[in-house]
Amino acid sequence: MLFTAGEYAQRLASVRQRMDAQGLSALLVTDPANIYYLCAYNAWSFYTPQVLFVPAQGDMILFTRDMDARGAFRTSWLPPDSIEAYPERYVHRPHLHPFDYVAYALRQRYLIAAATHGCVGLEMDSHFFSPKGYRALVNAIPEWTLVDCFELVNWVRLVKSPAEIQLMRKAAVVCNGAMKVAQESIEAGERQCDVAAAISHAQISGTPEIGGDYPAIVPLLPTGEEADTPHLTWNESRFTQGQAVVVELAGAYRRYHVPLARTFSIGTPSDDLARLADAVADGVKSVLDIIRPGVPVRELASTWNRTLAKYGLEKPSRLGYSIGIGYPPDWGERTVSIRSEDDSVLEENMTFHLMAGMWMDNYGFELSEPFRVSGSGVETFAAFPRELLQKGTCS
C-alpha cells in the first residue's frame, strides 16, 4: 500500500463531502487518475472502458474488463467483492458497449438495493468516457438524473498530503536526471529520435534508489523553426548547428508527475531568442517571488503579464496548471490553471507546473518550474538553471 488506509479513507470522505454539497447520491468515476487516487487501481487497462462507482454510502465498486478484473487486486486494495468484470464479448463490438453491462449491473445490484436515487454525478469531460458509454447509462437507468460533477475528484486532489509530496520529490529526482540526459545528448549531428530514446531511458530507469514510472506524455523536443509549436513529437532528422531545442519532459514516480521544460541552443542563439529567454526568466522569477498561501492564482498571471509587458511581449495561453497523478495523455490535473480567469487562491501543498512557454513565429522558448506552495512561500521541485542553456559546437 502506497498510502495508509487512513489516507484513502480521508480521500473518500472528502469526495463524499463534495458529493453531498452537490446533491449527488452517487458518482461514476472514469478518469484513470481519479480511480487510482481513490482505490489504487493501476494498469494500462484504460483503453477499454472502466468505471469506479462511488455511492454516498456503502462500498465502492470497480468495473473493468474481465481479463483486467482478475488482477485488479494486485494494485488495488478493494476487496474481491468490490471488483466486477464485464465479459470479454463486450469489447470493441458495434452493437454492444461495456457500459451496457455496467448499467445493467448497476440496475440489478445497486439501484434497487442501495440508496442511490436522484442525481448521480458523471465526469462528463474525462478522457476515456465516451458519448456511447454516456448514452448507455441514460438509456438503461432513466430513474437517475445524470449531471456533470465538474471534475469533483480532481478538485479533491488539488491539495497534496505529506505522503504525496514525498512521492513528488522522488519524481523530481527522476525529472532532473532525465533533463540532465537531454542536456548531455543534444548535439549537432544527433538524431532527434536518439535523444528522445536517451531521455525515455532515463525517465523509466530512474535512479538506483528510485525506479521511474512511465510519464503521461512522451518527451517533447520541438526544434528549430518547429519550436513555435509545443506538441509536435520527434522525428528522425539530425540536430544542426544554430538550432534551439525545446525539451519538455516529466519524471514520474508511482504515477505522480513532476514536469520540466528547458531550452537548449546548439551554438550561439539568435538575438531574438536570447532576448526572449531573458524576458521569460525575469517573468518566471517575478512569479515565484510572490507565491505563498493566500495569494490569488490570478495574481500570478497578472504579475507575469506585467513583467512580460516590460519587454513588449504577451502570452495568450495559460501560465501553468495543477499537477500530481497523471495518466496518458496528460499530466495536468484539469482544475486550477494559472491565468487571469481563474478564481482559486493558493493553499499550502498545492502543486503546479509553472509553464512559461512562448511560441513565436518560427522559433520558441520554454522555461518551466514545477513547485509546491509551502507554508511561507514556494518550494521548487527541480534544480536546473533557468537560463537558455548553450551547448558547445560539435561536428
Q: Which of 25, 48, 52 is nearest to 38 (CA)?
A: 52
Q: Which of 144, 103, 141 is nearest to 121 (CA)?
A: 144
Contact segment (CB under 8 A) with its own copies among 55-63, 269-277, 301-309, 310-318 equals 310-318
Is residue 28 within 8 A of residue 122, CB to CB? The reply is: yes
In single-letter form, the type of residue at position 355 comes to M
Q: What gap in Å lies between CA 277 and CA 96, rounded to an integer?
A: 53
Q: What gap in Å lies between CA 161 and CA 248, rounded to an integer?
A: 26
Three cell numbers, residue 68? 483486467
DSSP assigned state of 220: B
CB of 326 to its own copies, least distance (A): 10
3-state SS class at 371: strand
**Is 359 an interacting residue with respect to its own copies (CB under 8 A)?**
yes
Q: What mask of x and - would describe binding to its own copies in positions 258 to 287, judged by CB under 8 A?
A: ------------------------------
**Is 226 an interacting residue with respect to its own copies (CB under 8 A)?**
yes
CA dihedral sign, ordered 21, 22, 23, 26 = negative
**Is 329 an interacting residue with respect to its own copies (CB under 8 A)?**
yes
Contact segment (CB under 8 A) with its own copies among 148-156, 263-271, 282-290, 384-392 equals 148-156
The residue from 71, 242, 267, 293 that contacts its own copies (CB under 8 A) is 71
3-state SS class at 64: strand
List CB contacts of 191: < 8 A, sequence separation 6 or more.
236, 237, 238, 239
Specify the residue, 114 or 353, whose C-beta has the smaller distance to its own copies. Answer: 353
Q: Which of 53, 28, 46 is nearest to 109 (CA)?
A: 53
Q: What gap in Å lies between CA 146 and CA 333, rounded to an integer?
A: 23
**Is 113 an interacting residue with respect to its own copies (CB under 8 A)?**
no
The residue from 13, 23, 70, 115 that contacts its own copies (CB under 8 A) is 70
Contact segment (CB under 8 A) with its own copies among 294-302, 334-342, 374-382, 385-393 equals 334-342
User: Residue 27 — φ and ψ, nearest 5°?
Assistant: -135, 140
Contact segment (CB under 8 A) with its own copies among 109-117, 274-282, 296-304, 314-322 equals 314-322
Is residue 358 within 8 A of residue 364, CB to CB? The reply is: yes
**Is 24 an interacting residue with respect to its own copies (CB under 8 A)?**
no
**Is 316 an interacting residue with respect to its own copies (CB under 8 A)?**
yes
Specify the residue, 114 or 257, whose C-beta has the smaller distance to its own copies. Answer: 257
CB of 330 to its own copies, least distance (A): 4
The residue from 66, 282, 379, 387 that contacts its own copies (CB under 8 A) is 66
**Is 45 an interacting residue with respect to its own copies (CB under 8 A)?**
yes
**Is 240 an interacting residue with respect to its own copies (CB under 8 A)?**
no
The residue from 75, 302, 305, 380 that contacts its own copies (CB under 8 A) is 75
**Is 298 an interacting residue with respect to its own copies (CB under 8 A)?**
no
Residues 188-217 that bind its own copies (CB under 8 A): 191-194, 196-198, 200-206, 210-214, 217
Contact segment (CB under 8 A) with its own copies among 9-17, 53-61, 133-141, 270-278 equals 133-141
Specify the residue, 265 or 335, whose C-beta has the smaller distance to its own copies. Answer: 335
Specify the residue, 220 or 284, whose C-beta has the smaller distance to its own copies. Answer: 220
**Is 117 an interacting residue with respect to its own copies (CB under 8 A)?**
no
Specify the residue, 312 or 316, whose C-beta has the smaller distance to its own copies. Answer: 316
Burial class (CB in 10 A: 0-12, 13-18, 19+), 135: middle
List CB contacts of 235: < 8 A, sequence separation 6 or more.
192, 193
Cis, bond preceding 215 (omega within 30 deg of 0): no
Q: What gap in Å lies between CA 307 and CA 285, rounded to an integer?
A: 10
The residue from 1, 81, 236, 375 that contacts its own copies (CB under 8 A) is 236
| Strand-pair partners of 253 | 256
Specify the residue, 155 or 264, whose C-beta has the smaller distance to its own copies. Answer: 155
Residues 162-191 that bind its own copies (CB under 8 A): 191
